[in-house]
């Protein structure tokens, strides 16, 4: 398994690329929300049809694209991808319960504007960090209050609980069977991404004919491979599990990236402030709170998610995967864990590349250690 990361603008890189074609693309582009006022999240590149058209040329016929976006901007990215010549095949939902609401408390804002007194109803203690000493933890007391205006209890946004991911495909040549034999691409790795144990499947009916109106002789049998993969992925949180009253194992489980996973391999890196966590301000608007991290990339996807998605679009051969907007390397790591033979990353922000390389090195070493364990045990 090999990889390479290029420091470049993906639009220019894709336009000028003249190497071998790729079997698939997995990426987490900017959501174009103007995140924290950052220019990279308001450039419009995720909505650029010409950029996606140049990326389309780099794929083999039948090659799949997976690209994340935000719930408010997904439609514009998906339309750009479709207009560039891709076929939209599906939308995968990553559903989680740990999203933080970024909503203005309108009642509190109105009271401030009108000079109204608010009734203090209590306080809330939480752990924070000192603004004066890097990394020092302190107890922060937040005042809880209520007002009497008509707009008390009103806000401006819902709590985020999902991120959509477009599943698109470059048009195939001829039939799917002809395309996979010629190019190795065009299909999804269904058995490689089945979910759970104890799943059931119907046996073949008598005579090979399915019918709902008569007894066709088919029986429900155990399926050791697991359930057919769905277009929904959940994080196992209490909120999400409450939505599904029965067996959650019908869907793939993936929680958000932990701090230890984000920072693994970065032991020698300096801690910096990452402004992408939120707390409620005095005016009721959820604003950023300083967080001390080594991997300061703002949108780190969990490795179990990236590995699962990389497995879904991986051909039976080793395959070449392109990862635009490669960031701190999560999609590249997941792809290498999934067994892709070669992974090409392209990242505009140079400071993220050493972080990505260090993380990739760490997880490749972990994989190598896991591979040697059975051999070592067999010698005992």
| DSSP characters over 282-343 | TTS-EEEEEEEESS--S-PPPHHHHHHHHHHT--SS--EEEEES-TTSHHHHHHHHHT-SEE
Whole-number Å distance between alpha carbons of 137 and 127: 7
- CA 38 to chain CA centroid, Å, is 20
- One pLDDT digit (tens) per residue for the chain, 380 residues: 799 999 999 999 999 999 999 999 999 999 887 655 566 667 889 999 999 999 999 999 999 999 999 999 999 999 999 999 999 999 999 988 777 788 899 999 999 999 999 999 888 776 655 444 444 556 667 778 899 999 999 999 998 889 999 999 999 999 999 999 999 999 999 999 998 754 445 456 655 554 554 555 666 555 567 888 999 998 877 777 776 655 557 788 777 788 888 888 888 887 876 554 444 443 444 444 456 677 767 678 999 999 999 999 999 999 999 999 999 999 999 999 999 999 999 999 999 999 999 999 999 999 998 877 655 444 33
The pLDDT assigned to 66 comes to 98
**Annotated domain spans of the chain:** 2-99+158-203+227-260+296-378, 106-157+261-293
All residues at 6 or more sequence positions from 188 whose CB lies less than 8 Å from its CB, including other chains: 64, 312, 313
The pLDDT of residue 269 is 84
Per-residue pLDDT at 241: 73
What pLDDT is stored for residue 205 in this prediction?
64
**Encoded tokens for 35:** 């995140």
Classify 365 as helix, strand or coil: helix
Identify whether the C-beta of residue 305 lies closer than 8 Å to the C-beta of residue 254: yes
Name the superfamily (CATH) of residues 2-99+158-203+227-260+296-378: Vaccinia Virus protein VP39 (3.40.50.150)
Nearest one of 331, 285, 279, 327 to 306, comparing CA atoms: 331
Residue 83 φ then ψ, to 5°: -65, -25
Q: Are 325 and 347 in contact (CB under 8 A)?
A: yes
* Spatial separation of the C-alpha atoms in residues 235 and 241, rounded to whole Å: 9
Q: What pLDDT is attached to residue 350? A: 94
User: How many C-beta neighbours within 10 Å does residue 288 have?
Assistant: 15
Q: Which pLDDT belongs to residue 329?
A: 94
Q: Which two tokens stand for residue 243?
A: 């939505």
Contact 102, 220 (CB under 8 A): no
What distance in Å separates the CA atoms of residue 336 and residue 83, rounded to the nearest whole number? Answer: 30
C-beta of residue 60 within 8 angstroms of C-beta of residue 20? no
Question: Could you tell me which residues come within 8 angstroms of residue 284 by beta carbon, excluding any fewer than 6 positions away?
Answer: 104, 105, 106, 107, 108, 109
The contacts of residue 337 (CB under 8 Å, 6+ apart) are: 303, 307, 310, 363, 367
Whole-number pLDDT of residue 376: 44
Closest of 364, 79, 84, 315 to residue 181, by C-alpha: 315
Report yes or no on whether pTM surpasses 0.75.
yes
User: Other CB atoms closer than 10 Å to residue 53's CB: what's the count?
Assistant: 17
pLDDT at 20: 97
Residue for token pair 């050791």: 224
Residue whose C-alpha is closest to residue 32's, from 66, 80, 65: 80
Residues 229, 195: Cα–Cα separation, whole Å: 6
Query: C-alpha angle with apex 42: 40 to 46, nearest 5 degrees?
Result: 85
């Amino acid at each position: 398994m090999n990889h390479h990361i290029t420091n470049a603008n993906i639009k220019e890189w894709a336009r000028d690329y003249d190497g071998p074609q790729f079997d698939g693309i997995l990426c987490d582009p900017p959501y174009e929300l103007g995140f924290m006022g950052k220019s990279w999240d308001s450039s419009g590149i995720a909505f650029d049809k010409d950029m996606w058209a140049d990326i389309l040329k780099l794929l083999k016929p039948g090659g799949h694209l997976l690209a994340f976006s935000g719930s408010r901007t997904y439609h514009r990215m998906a339309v750009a991808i479709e207009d560039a010549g891709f076929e939209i095949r599906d939308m995968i939902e990553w559903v989680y319960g740990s999203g933080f609401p970024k909503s203005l408390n309108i009642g509190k804002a109105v009271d401030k504007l009108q000079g109204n007194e608010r009734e203090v109803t209590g306080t809330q203690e939480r752990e924070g960090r000192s603004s004066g000493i890097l990394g020092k933890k302190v107890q922060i007391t937040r005042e809880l209050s209520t007002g009497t205006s008509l707009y008390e209890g009103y806000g401006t946004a819902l709590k985020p609980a999902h991120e959509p991911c477009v599943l698109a495909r470059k048009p195939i040549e001829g039939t799917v069977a002809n395309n996979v034999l010629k190019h190795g691409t065009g299909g999804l790795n269904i058995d490689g991404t089945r979910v759970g144990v104890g799943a059931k499947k119907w046996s073949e009916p008598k005579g090979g004919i399915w019918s709902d109106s008569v007894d066709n002789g088919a029986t429900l049998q155990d399926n050791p491979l697991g359930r057919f993969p769905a277009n929904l992925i959940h994080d196992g949180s209490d909120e999400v599990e409450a939505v599904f009253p029965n067996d959650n194992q019908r869907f793939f489980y993936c929680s958000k990236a932990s701090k230890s996973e984000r920072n693994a391999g970065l032991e020698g890196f300096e801690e910096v402030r990452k402004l992408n966590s939120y707390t409620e301000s005095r005016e009721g608007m959820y604003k950023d709170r300083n967080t001390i991290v080594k991997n300061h990339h703002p949108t780190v996807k969990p490795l179990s998610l990236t590995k699962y998605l990389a497995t879904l679009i991986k051909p039976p051969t080793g395959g070449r995967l392109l990862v635009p907007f490669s960031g701190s390397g999560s999609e590249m790591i997941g792809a290498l864990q999934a067994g892709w033979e070669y992974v090409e990353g392209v990242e505009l922000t140079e400071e993220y590349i050493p972080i990505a390389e260090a993380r990739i090195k760490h997880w490749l070493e972990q994989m190598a250690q896991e591979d040697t364990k059975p051999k070592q045990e067999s010698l005992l």
